C-alpha cells in the first residue's frame, strides 16, 4: 500500500453555491498549504464523494470518483492528511499521506517552477512531455496492481 499519492482535484471549473469560486480558491493556494478532505455521504451524485477544501473552508473540488472509496476507507482506518501540490491552467493537484505527513515530490529531471506559477511546471521543450500535459498516477497506486 502506498504511503503517499498525488491526485487531481476534479470539478475545479464548477462554481461553489456560495462565496468565492473554486478556481479562485485554487489560485490562492501555494504548494504545501494544508487542505481538508470532507466526506459527503449525502451527495446525490455519489455517496462516496470526498470534497477538497482549503484550510479556510472554501471548496476547491473533489477527489476523483474512482479513488474516493479507497480514500474514504483510509480515512476510516487511520490518519489521512493532505496538502496542496500545485495548479496549472487545467486544474489542481493534492498530495495525500496515509499515517504520515505528505511531502511534495521532487520535480522530474528537466522541470522547474516558473515564477508566478503556483507549483505548475515550466513548458516542456518541444517534443517532450511536461507535468501539466496530463495526470499520471503514482506507480504504487491500484492502477499498477500494487
Grid cell 515530490 is found at 105
- 65 neighbors 48 (Cβ within 8 angstroms): yes
How do the pLDDT tens digits run along the chain, 146 residues long? 679 999 999 999 999 988 889 999 999 999 999 999 999 999 999 999 999 999 999 999 999 999 999 999 999 998 899 999 999 888 899 999 999 999 998 876 655 555 444 444 443 344 444 444 444 555 655 444 44
- For the beta sheet containing 34-39, the strands, ordered from the edge strand earlier in sequence to the opposite edge, are 4-9, 91-98, 80-88, 34-39, 50-54, 59-62
Tell me the domain boundaries of the chain.
1-102
Q: Max alpha carbon distance in the chain (Å)?
A: 46
d(CA 71, CA 39): 10
User: Would you state the pLDDT for residue 103?
Assistant: 93
CATH number of 1-102: 3.30.70.2330
* DSSP structural state of residue 99: S
Amino acid at each position: 500500500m502506498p504511503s503517499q499519492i498525488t491526485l487531481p482535484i476534479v470539478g475545479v471549473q464548477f462554481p461553489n453555491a456560495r462565496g468565492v469560486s473554486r478556481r479562485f480558491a485554487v489560485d490562492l493556494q501555494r504548494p504545501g498549504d494544508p487542505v481538508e478532505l470532507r466526506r459527503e455521504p449525502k451527495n446525490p451524485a455519489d455517496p462516496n464523494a470526498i470534497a477538497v477544501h482549503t484550510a479556510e473552508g472554501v471548496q476547491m473540488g473533489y477527489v476523483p470518483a474512482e479513488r474516493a472509496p479507497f480514500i474514504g476507507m483510509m480515512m476510516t482506518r487511520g490518519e489521512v492528511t493532505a496538502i496542496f501540490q500545485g495548479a496549472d491552467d487545467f486544474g489542481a493537484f493534492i498530495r495525500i499521506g496515509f499515517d504520515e505527513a505528505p511531502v511534495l515530490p521532487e520535480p522530474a529531471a528537466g522541470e522547474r517552477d516558473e515564477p508566478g506559477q503556483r507549483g505548475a511546471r515550466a513548458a516542456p521543450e518541444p517534443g517532450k512531455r511536461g507535468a501539466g500535459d496530463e495526470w499520471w498516477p503514482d506507480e504504487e497506486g491500484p492502477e499498477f496492481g500494487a
